[in-house]
Amino acid sequence: MHLSRYLKTYSSPERPGRILLVATRRCAVLELSESLWQRLADGGELSDRERETFARLGVLVPDRDAEREEMRETFDKLNSESRRFKGTVTLTLECNLACPYCYEEPFRGRFAMNAATADLLVQRLTERMAEGLDVTVDFYGGEALMRLDLLHEIASRLRDVADRRGVGFTFNMFSNGVLLTRSVVEELLPLGLSAVRLTIDGPPDIHDAQRPFVSGKGSFATIMANLVEVHRLVAIDLGGNYTRDNYRRFPELLDMMIAAGIEPARLKEVSFSPVMPRADGSVSGDRASTCACTAEPWAIEAAVYLRGEVIKRGFPVAKIKPSACMIEFANDVVVGYDGGLYKCPVFMGQEELKVGTLAKGICDYRQSHNLDVWKNDECLECAYLPLCFGGCRFFRKLQTGAIDGVDCRRAMLDASLETFVRQDLAAGSRKS
């Protein structure tokens, strides 16, 4: 047996003689004595139990060359074995908010899915169900709830098909929260509503400036009232968009939520993100307040700081896990309001990144999306590969104008992974 190449180790100053070992392929975290780690590193004698445990957790592998080849074939294997189809369905590009940083601004307008496109969508998803696939739909906008009637109709029809076929069907929503009332949630739950991704951009003064109604009026009070009403009914994945100048005030939002009666443990996940440039690379206001590269020092500092503040207050955070751009997953597709197909919501409106239509199906996009971009020696030898797989293709396109290389996450993970691991360990010890 040999050591995996996908390992990171960290010393433990507070516990001399101990180290933290992170096996990134399994996202397993172990605390070992330095002497045991030395035995592992030197190929020393191990008990049968030790050898079995380290192999199961991905620390030891039978053959390093075979491990590398398995990593190259990761998505070939996952896609061939997948029994799930996921569609991100854009019901409308209309929105009742006027966020100045909205990445959809270059192609936003009074556009909505028509009845014929909705029928074709249901037909295509019915075909996937006939193949025995479970189907998940993420309803998207604009603001998806501005077409509640259409959302209800599509979900009802797919629910009926799934019941007849004996396969799974659930749906999620991306929503700004303005129309997410208790009655709406109660109406949609029987149809398969599973979770809602909702956005609040910090305390009221920041949020209302960044996410006002079209009229200019602030939206914070309306969204917060709805969140209080529905967070016990449906899983809420709470996000928010910060800038370099305001991210340290986001904990005020968390405290306000608790004071309003929101139970932290009831939420599915809380994760804040930096404001990104629009889909065409343009920005609103101060360019330095947007983030177009995961290695920007202020963005790394903000991510570590906010994750810690979220955990401190008892809200759930995203766990360290294998991660990849959705373009790698053959059964993940974005459906535009007009039936156009894409591999990422940010690519909507960019004809060169369109991968087909509901009417004609999906074309070969390996070259246009540079699917094999991470299959190079540097990436395949990198301990972070399982957490990255080439990073975000949109970020790369922002930086160079094309998907011509990887969005390397090494600097970001060098600066943050150890802290994330220790945050999780500390949170676990507090719960126990």
pLDDT tens figures, 399-415: 888 999 999 999 999 99
Q: What is the rounded average pLDDT for all residues in the chain?
A: 93
- pLDDT band at residue 349 under the 50/70/90 scheme: confident
Task: Give Cα 337 distance to the centre of its chain.
Answer: 22
Residue 271 has pLDDT above 80, yes or no: yes
Interval 134-181: pLDDT, tens = 999 999 999 999 999 999 999 999 999 999 999 999 999 999 999 999
Interval 170-203: pLDDT, tens = 999 999 999 999 999 999 999 999 999 999 999 9
- pLDDT band at residue 62 under the 50/70/90 scheme: very high
Per-residue confidence (pLDDT) for residue 15, from 0 to 100: 85
- How far apart are the C-alpha atoms of 38 and 137, rounded to whole Å? 48
**Model's pTM, two decimal places?**
0.92
Pairwise pLDDT comparison (102 vs 380), residue with the higher score: 380
Per-residue confidence (pLDDT) for residue 110, from 0 to 100: 82
Per-residue confidence (pLDDT) for residue 431, from 0 to 100: 60
Q: Which of 29-33, 269-273, 274-278, 354-358 has the lowest mean pLDDT?
A: 274-278
Residue 302 has pLDDT above 80, yes or no: yes
